[in-house]
Amino acid sequence: MNPLRILIMAAGKGTRFKSSWPKVLHRLAGQPLASYVITTAQSLNPEAIGIVVGQDAEKVRSALADDSIHFVEQSPQLGTGHAVQVAKPFWGPGDGTLMILSGDVPLISCETLKALVESHFQSGSSVTLLSTRLDDPTGYGRVVRDASGEVVRIVEQKDATPEERIIQEVNTGIYCFKTPDLAGVIDLLSAANSQKEYYLPECVGLLKARNQPVSAVLCGNPVEVAGVNSRVELAQLEQILRERKTRELMREGVTLIDPSSTYISPNVTIGPDTVIYPNVYIEGNSRIGRACQIYPNVRITQSVLEDRVLVLDSSVIVNSHIESESQIGPFAHLRTDVEIGKKVRIGNFVELKKTSVGDGSTAAHLSYLGDTQVGRKVNVGAGTITCNYDGIQKHRTVIEDHVFIGSDSQLVAPVTVKEGAYVAAGSTITEKVPKDALAIARSPQVIKPDWARKRRESLKKG
Ligand code: UD1
Ligand code: CA
């Protein structure tokens, strides 16, 4: 057999990004650039996947951590050829096939890579590179062919003659090598070029010079092989992915009032008849059910909304789960770990954190509920605050079924309000409220008859 290993190059400095953050961790539609290539590599079921990391290697490792990946550290980074030299313990020796991918070419598809491997096996070439034809090839290595059309070598933009720069067929930075043939030339690279780097593509010319067969497979879709070398290119791919996703959703029955201002990450799913207003962000692996309505300026991250949920303007929902027919917002903040039951109403300026709210309950105005369990059919009055933090630790509040919390109350945790109890408005509750009881914790009202009138009159006289 001919075992396939995949090596992803992701150690580059990303100079053109002008960033203190490693390029391959910059996010495309919410996910690190390199994670796209890793997922595609995994879909090919290779014997092993290696990734070369360099700039901020530790950050990259922890962001991409996955048991199935071998990390190779390249430091300093002396070019793509050097990256493959450093990774030799991962891929050599042996009699297999090494596929090389670039961490900054995120949209390459599994189908294209399968076609590349197949062609590589059929032709028996020492190297098969994936090329594409670009109207504007600026910045890419050019594929130089001889009079008979055979691939001879690759020349980088910066080293190319004016004649070579006219060539529109470019190297995508994706290759399949016969492992022993790569091993035969990888240490022969020279850095005698304009960038003083060891170029991996030089292997193509070296193999050809040894009369070993080299070939290229042309990728018909330049978007798949677009490299992300700058923030401009990142934004271009971001737009392509966004349009792909919004078109897919509309085909599946989702209404987007203005697709161009709707930002939905690739892994999000949305049920039919859901309507999404402009300037909405839905991120991560969020799932939105059927017939929901998401009003403008809402961000939903890593959350689940079941069917017929209404999210009104300017709400933020993170790491939360909302059951069907509930209503959130406007201006609500479900900060994290929030579980909302069915037919719940969470209104304006209500913030929830690590809190569950049972079916049919309401917190309609100006509240903070943190580390709280709210039962069913509870009314949380306007301005209710759970005082969950004592300056050192967080404590829980439990509000059982059918409780009524009057407006402007504070519940000083840890505290429980038992089933059916009633808390009078303006109370500061510090102790358990028994079942069906009324708790009033405020100073009693004092009436001083005619006090106001007398004061006015005395002021007038003075
Ligand atoms: C590279 C190719 C070029 C091709 C283009 C396609 C070289 C010399 N040139 O150019 O022919 O047209 O890709 O996108 O290979 N990297 C390392 N270690 C290093 C340098 C780079 O791991 O020392 C990684 C980078 O993180 C990146 C990839 O290799 O993921 C490509 O490097 P980059 O500097 O972007 O090469 P290009 O100039 O785009
Ligand atoms: Ca690149």
Ligand nearest to the backbone CA of 196? 1
What backbone phi and psi angles, to 5 degrees, belong to 245? -70, -45
- DSSP character string of 29-89: TTEEHHHHHHHHHHHT--SEEEEEE-TTHHHHHHHH--TTEEEEE-SS---HHHHHHHTHH
What is the number of alpha carbons within 13 Å of residue 7 lying toward its C-beta?
A: 30
CB-CB contact of 88 with 200 (8 Å): no
Segments in 92-229 forming alpha helices (H): 110-123, 162-165, 179-185, 202-209
Ligand nearest to the backbone CA of 15? 1
Q: Which positions are catalytic?
A: 365
Query: What global pTM score does this model have?
Result: 0.86
Neighbour-count burial for 294-304, b at 16+ CB within 10 Å, e otherwise: bbbbbbbbbbb
**Does 10 contact ligand 1 (Cβ within 6 A)?**
yes
Nearest C-alpha neighbor of 324 from the set 370, 360, 364: 360
CB-CB contact of 141 with 22 (8 Å): no
Neighbour-count burial for 394-407, b at 16+ CB within 10 Å, e otherwise: ebbbbbbbbbbbbb
In 191-289, beta strands by DSSP E? 214-219, 255-256, 262-264, 269-270, 275-276, 280-283, 287-288
Q: Which two tokens stand for residue 92?
A: 């050599």
In 249-402, beta strands by DSSP E? 255-256, 262-264, 269-270, 275-276, 280-283, 287-288, 293-294, 299-301, 304-305, 310-311, 316-318, 320-322, 327-328, 333-340, 345-357, 362-374, 379-380, 385-387, 397-399
Question: Which residue type, as a one-letter code, is found at position 152?
Answer: V
Rounded Cα gap, residues 218 and 151, in angstroms: 12
Per-residue pLDDT in tens (0 to 9) along the chain, 462 residues = 579 999 999 998 888 999 988 999 999 998 899 999 999 999 999 999 999 999 889 999 999 988 889 999 999 999 999 999 999 999 988 899 999 999 999 999 999 999 999 999 999 999 999 999 999 999 999 999 999 999 999 999 999 999 999 999 999 999 999 999 999 999 999 999 999 999 999 999 999 999 999 999 999 999 999 999 999 999 999 999 999 999 999 999 999 999 999 999 999 999 999 999 999 999 999 999 999 999 999 999 999 999 999 999 999 999 999 999 999 999 999 999 999 999 999 999 999 999 999 999 999 999 999 999 999 999 999 999 999 999 999 999 999 999 999 999 999 999 999 999 999 999 999 999 999 999 999 999 999 999 999 999 999 987
Can you name the residues that pair with 322 across neighbouring β-strands? 305, 340
**Does 289 contact ligand 1 (Cβ within 6 A)?**
no
Q: Is the dihedral of CA 230, 101, 171, 80 positive or negative?
A: positive
Q: Which of 33, 75, 77, 80 to mutate to test the pocket of ligand 1 (most atoms within 8 A of CB)?
A: 80
19 class by beta-carbon count within 10 Å (0-12 exposed, 13-18 middle, 19+ buried): middle
Q: Give, as one character, the DSSP assignment of residue 112.
A: H
**Does 52 contact ligand 1 (Cβ within 6 A)?**
yes
Q: Which of 53, 102, 129, 186 to mutate to test the pocket of ligand 1 (most atoms within 8 A of CB)?
A: 102
The number of the ligand 1 atom at minimal distance from the alpha carbon of 81 is 15
Helix pair angle (33-43, 57-64), 10° resolution: 50
**Does 421 contact ligand 1 (Cβ within 6 A)?**
no
Residue 235: other Cβ atoms inside 10 A:
12
Nearest C-alpha neighbor of 47 from the set 80, 114, 83, 1: 1
**Does 85 contact ligand 1 (Cβ within 6 A)?**
no
